[in-house]
Chains A and B, each alone.
Chain A
Amino acid sequence: MVVQGIRKVTAGQNGVGAFILQCKRLDFHYCDWAGSSKGMNSFIRNHLQKFASANPSIEISISPRPNRHPVIRGHYINGREKAICVRNLEPNQVLKKAELLRDASGEKLKSVKKPVKSINESVRGVWSPYHGGGMHV
């Protein structure tokens, strides 16, 4: 059963609504032989248990990926995936990447130019040419 967001009957807004972590699954791929997986293997061995128990809502799967660089792959509720190659990273750096994937929304990265983002409709409403006073030329 795939985790899904609660369907909105009414728009839960202004903090009235449950927070749902967008990341639903993290795959940790490592290699037993290659040196670039050294930090990743150490992370899985020593740090992943704590990380997994701190994030019980994320499914964690660990599998080898022989003769390839180590990768963390995040799966999100919106159906997208995000993969980060963690070759030659230290265990702490790998932990940072795992936290980054955990906190990501799964959306494509886009530049945020405006300081405020809202899904609310404007108080003034949508402008229409047929309404309003009109202009006498």
Chain B
Amino acid sequence: MHRTRRVARSIDSVGAICGAQAPRPFLCHVCRVQATSFSTSTVQSYPETGKVPLSERVRRRIWGTDQPPGQEDPYGGPGILDQVKAQNKAKKLAEQKPPATSAISATVPEDYEPATTWEGLERVGGYGNWWKENWDPRHPFMGFLPPRIMTDPEEVTAALHRALVEVFALKQAGEPLDGISKATPGADLTHDVQVIASDAGASLVFSENATLEDIVLSLAPQVEEVIEENHATESEQDIEADRSTEDLLHPEKVEETVEPPAHEPQPTESEEDVAADRSEEDPLEHQAPTIAYAELVASWDPSWLQVSLDDPEIKFAVIKRSLQLTGVRISDTSIRSITTAKSLLSHLVTPPKPRKLIEALEQKEEFLNLPNVKVHAKRITAIDKEKTVGRWKLIEEELENRGLPLTGYTRR
């Protein structure tokens, strides 16, 4: 009891102490000091308590008056960051507030009733008819690569020859080589064209069937015609209208569109002829599968394989076109090493790397022909072992007699 002073020890003072401490929770001195030192903003308590802080008293003494000029509490209040934040928040709130709220509420009709079901409401968002318009059967996806990848070496050789002829024809005509792949590959006009290696790349020797103009025209894109074909309908009137537009547009489109010489659209009367014309207009069906590629390749001067592809522009155009024609992809690393048409052909013709060991072994006939070697494509099972010694028939028979399965277990 020595902590309380002797004077305050009387029993009377106990009630006064308890009454004074009762309204506040007890706080030790350390907590009180810490609480005041950690507060970010000082609380202006002196008007309530009547106590004036030291800073304010000094300030008043300096100015010599009880109401010094300047801020009311220059050493307290919210910090500058808090003030800026509060200003920004107020600005945002002012911007977000819709200005025409009252106008909208004014236009709502009096008989307006909020909908309780979705029926009859306008549908907003989603893809709409985009998929139908872009992916329905009338707008099929046409990829850059052909659907069938060429595997016949002679056919690939002919395709590479065609790519070379078309690229050098474009170059000879002064056209940009970028447009080499814009047109869907149509009939091959380059069968009779000879490519001869020269110092400036290659020189082309054209024939009567295929001139430079024909080939260059065949490489022009045919966008408008395709659209017309797709929208063609079956009625006579529409067909006639189509024909008339073709005829009208024909003189204008001479430089843009190319039609094979054998398929000039002749106006006919019957529906069948029209249908036949349409089917022939499909450029992909021009390629007759009965072309003897071996004879064709043999008819060309063999020097065309020596054509240099050192010019990167020409190399890129040739590879792009051959990719479009054959569908055979070439790796970037091998493109670097390609310098002539022959090396490009070797990459196009090379069979793909075998994925299985058996495929690699099948190419080694000498190995397979060894009398003591046998190669199995599949795992040798227990049944295979029994078959080699001729026991399997007996086992099979016995299993069947006993109603047992030949492989696996019985279901119970």
Contacts and interface: CB of A to CB of B under 8 A. Distances in A.
Interface of A: 27, 30, 32, 41, 44-45, 48-49, 52-53, 55-66
Dominant SS among interface residues on chain A: mixed
A58 B357 contact: no
Nearest to B388: A61
Closest 4 CB pairs of A and B: A63-B376, A49-B367, A63-B380, A61-B374
A60 B373 contact: yes
B372 A62 contact: no
Interface of B: 355-358, 360-361, 364, 366-367, 370-380
Contacts of B375: 61-63
5 contacts: A32-B356, A45-B361, A52-B373, A61-B374, A64-B358
B77 to A, nearest CB: 72
Contacts of A30: 357
B372 A58 contact: yes
B379 to A, nearest CB: 6
A50 B374 CA distance: 15
A64 B379 contact: yes
B367 A59 contact: no
A62 B360 CA distance: 13
B374 A44 contact: no
A32 B373 CA distance: 19
Contacts of B377: 64
B376 A61 contact: yes
A18 B73 CA distance: 120
Contact of B372 (A27, A41, A52, A64): A52
Contacts of B358: 64
For B357, B361, B366, B367, which residue has the most chain A Cβ atoms within 10 angstroms? B357
Nearest to B375: A62
A7 B171 CA distance: 84
B357 A53 contact: no
Given A64-B357, A64-B358, A52 B378 contact: no
